[in-house]
Structure 1
Amino acid sequence: MDENNNQQTSSLYQFIDVLPQYTTINTVYQEILRNRALNFDEQCQITDFHNWLKNRENFEKAVLNFILSTDKKKQFPIVSMLRKLINNNIEIYKSNHTFLDEIDTLAVSSKRPNFLNYQIDNQQSQTNAQWVELKEIRNSLESASWNGEESKIERLTKEEERISTLYEIEQEKLSALYKQKAESDTTASKYVNNIFKKICESGIFNLAILDNYFPNETNKSDSKYSNFQMNEGKYFDMEIISKIHKECNGAQFESLTEIELYSILNLLPANTQLIIKNREKTRMCYLVSILYDYLKLENKTEWRTLILKSIGIKEDFYNSKYKEPVSETPSRESKDFAQSISKIFV
């Protein structure tokens, strides 16, 4: 387990450091697939990697620092290599997601090799043996006291003190081992989640960031994931999408990933559809109207037409319902929803 990686979760890193990290993780993926099994060390590696890289703001800052500090001619091969590594990682996951997503990572963590278990068992035996000896001495001392054997009482009392001290030492050793095990279990608890899908999602977001800052190179890329690029100034950035996702996912529409919502609202190819939940169509009309007002484009009417079609709302229904959450007599749910959505675009 690399605890340093966990400590770096919220800290900045160098853009160039991402390449060897992705290379290592792709190798780990191949080993997992070759063995058709995941061991605890591999689970720690990929979890530490995800924790290190998952902060999109830090990745974007690393990209900006790279642009400012690196000669433009040297940027292309480095970005091209990173793009290739990320695409490889995504492709490995996409091709094997059924197997990877079904790995019981909790069981992997619970069954991890732990030498402390052997040490505890061994120490427990020594402590128990010392307790048996102490118990025998105390029984003998009690018998001698009943019989008034003064010389024997004196000898057994000293022996009891000696054995009692040894027993306390063994108890302290056992307690220390149990404390170490508790700390080990606490650390291991950070590695119980299956995060293969999350790593894939982070990779797609990072590709989108690369596409945003290196648009010329994007045109040369043959990546099947390059459709996540968002033309500069067009539609909605990831920050807006994330806020809408947090507010509406599972509430106004059936659960989607941020990536899927990003694709749908930006009219990009998506592997799923946005399904409006029962009795939420009016509030979705309001959301579309707010998004429509947010756009500063000449063709934003075209966006509205296409997005309404994609989510199954007819334009005449939209025109009659989109103002209802901010009407004079909205329902309590619609009023609260309108206030929450409006805060996103302040």
Structure 2
Amino acid sequence: MGENDNQQSDFLYQIIDVLPQYTTVNTVYQGILGSTLNFEEQCQITDFYTGIKNRENFEKAVLNFILSTDKEKQFPIVSMLRTLIDSNIELYKNNKDFFDNIDVISVCANRPDSLNYQINIQQKRTNSLWMELIQIRNSLESASWKRENAKVEYLTGEEERVSNLYKIEQDKLAVLYKQKAESDTAASKYVKNVFRNIYESGIFNISILNNYFPIETERQDHNQSNPQLQEGKYFPMELVSKIHKECNGFQFESLTEVELYSILNLLPVNTLLVIKRGEKTRMCYLISILYNYLKVQDKIEWRSSILKSLDIKEDFYTSKYKEPVSEVPSRESKNFALSISKIFV
């Protein structure tokens, strides 16, 4: 068995690793639709596909997830992953011609590369010394014909000095050209348009999830534990991910994106969201923004459930949630309100 075969048979990742990757890629997709693909984004997309393209590895990840994860934790994670993959599939299907016609080769060829600038500068320095060396050699030849011994001695010394400098600059230029070649080789790994490949992988991954986690069985199990909740009812993973990036470790004690998703969507989870000292008022503001975001009939019930889970009294919430946008908020609250508002633009 060859080295590649060994790599393909190894277990390379966990299901939990795929969630933030799909979130990132979906965000990149949406950004591309409103703009153009750049080289950094092409690298992200290609690296993502390289990581998930092996179908055997994905199935191994699912089996490992089943064996290593408590059943009550499996539903929210699988539901979230299925939602993210479905979102990726829909993004591609709805914009197939656009994605398939992106000229990835041009994206790679036109990538920002500081080496080009450095090579141009170094080329000028090297050429300047070469021209100087030619002039010295011409003068030396002329002085030799005229038997101008003193001048010959001086020019011989100059020829050696400039020749040494020229060799040094030549070596510097050679190093830059080598780095440029290495950069081009690295970029060549990203010259393939993989949008369709990611779509096809998503179709397969969904089929694997459906095989091991039938949707009807999931819903029945979930409804038995909490019959009033609906999958993905309140906040999508993309939004939760942005909130997590802004608040995790600052407004509340560190937890994973999956745990925050489950908490905000009132899904079963063993982790509690613990508000950090001095951050309760800002958390009230965040809850108010999330409340206003909701477009469901039971938004008041959602708010009551969240406040209860965070041990925040209704009267405290009512008196504090507007403070970060009051006439004289603290600097921390003002900055927090600005950061949160950007998430919901």
**TM-score interval w.r.t. the shorter chain?**
0.5 to 0.7
Offset at 1:219?
Answer: 6.6
Identity %: 68
TM-score using structure 2 length: 0.60
| Unaligned segments of structure 2, at least 5 residues | 1-6, 221-229, 232-345
Equivalent residue for 1:158? 157
Give per-residue Cα distances to partners, 1:50-107, cap 9 Å, x unaligned.
0011001111111111111110110010000000000000000000011111111111
Give matches, 1:172-191, under 5 Å.
Answer: 172-191=171-190
TM-score using structure 1 length: 0.60
* Secondary structure in structure 1 of the residue aligned to 2:13: coil
Give per-residue Cα distances to partners, 1:98-135, cap 9 Å, x unaligned.
11111111111111111111111111111100101111
Give matches, 1:245-256, under 5 Å.
Answer: none
Equivalent residue for 1:327? none
Give per-residue Cα distances to partners, 1:184-219, cap 9 Å, x unaligned.
111111111111011000001011111111125577
Equivalent residue for 2:25? 25
Show structure 1 runs of 4+ deviating over 3 A: 8-11, 216-223
Equivalent residue for 1:132? 131
Name the CA distance, whole Å, in 1 between partners of 2:116 and 2:122: 10
Cα distance change of structure 1 residues 67 and 190 upon mapping to structure 2, 3 Å threshold: same
Name the CA distance, whole Å, in 1 between partners of 2:11 and 2:176: 33
Cα distance change of structure 1 residues 117 and 11 upon mapping to structure 2, 3 Å threshold: farther
Name the CA distance, whole Å, in 1 between partners of 2:219 and 2:54: 27
Cα distance change of structure 1 residues 70 and 47 upon mapping to structure 2, 3 Å threshold: same
Equivalent residue for 2:95? 96
| Unaligned segments of structure 1, at least 5 residues | 1-7, 224-346
Cα distance change of structure 1 residues 124 and 188 upon mapping to structure 2, 3 Å threshold: same
Give the partner amino acid of 2:58. F
Name the CA distance, whole Å, in 1 between partners of 2:171 and 2:38: 33
Is the Cα contact below 8 Å between 1:76 and 1:217 reproduced in 2?
no
Equivalent residue for 2:59? 60
Offset at 1:14?
Answer: 1.5
Offset at 1:49?
Answer: 0.4
Is the Cα contact below 8 Å between 1:15 and 1:62 reproduced in 2?
yes
Give the partner amino acid of 1:150. N
Name the CA distance, whole Å, in 1 between partners of 2:18 and 2:72: 19
Give the partner amino acid of 2:45. I
Is the Cα contact below 8 Å between 1:211 and 1:218 reproduced in 2?
no
Cα distance change of structure 1 residues 217 and 170 upon mapping to structure 2, 3 Å threshold: farther
Cα distance change of structure 1 residues 113 and 63 upon mapping to structure 2, 3 Å threshold: same
Name the CA distance, whole Å, in 2 between partners of 1:134 and 1:174: 17
Equivalent residue for 1:40? 39
- Bigger RCO (CA 8 Å, 6+ sep): 2
Name the CA distance, whole Å, in 1 between partners of 2:193 and 2:216: 33
What's the RMSD between the two structures over aligned residues?
Answer: 2.0
Cα distance change of structure 1 residues 194 and 218 upon mapping to structure 2, 3 Å threshold: farther
Name the CA distance, whole Å, in 2 between partners of 1:178 and 1:31: 34
* Secondary structure in structure 2 of the residue aligned to 1:38: coil
Is the Cα contact below 8 Å between 1:130 and 1:167 reproduced in 2?
yes
Cα distance change of structure 1 residues 32 and 170 upon mapping to structure 2, 3 Å threshold: same
Name the CA distance, whole Å, in 1 between partners of 2:216 and 2:123: 63
Is the Cα contact below 8 Å between 2:122 and 2:169 reproduced in 1?
yes
Aligned residues: 215
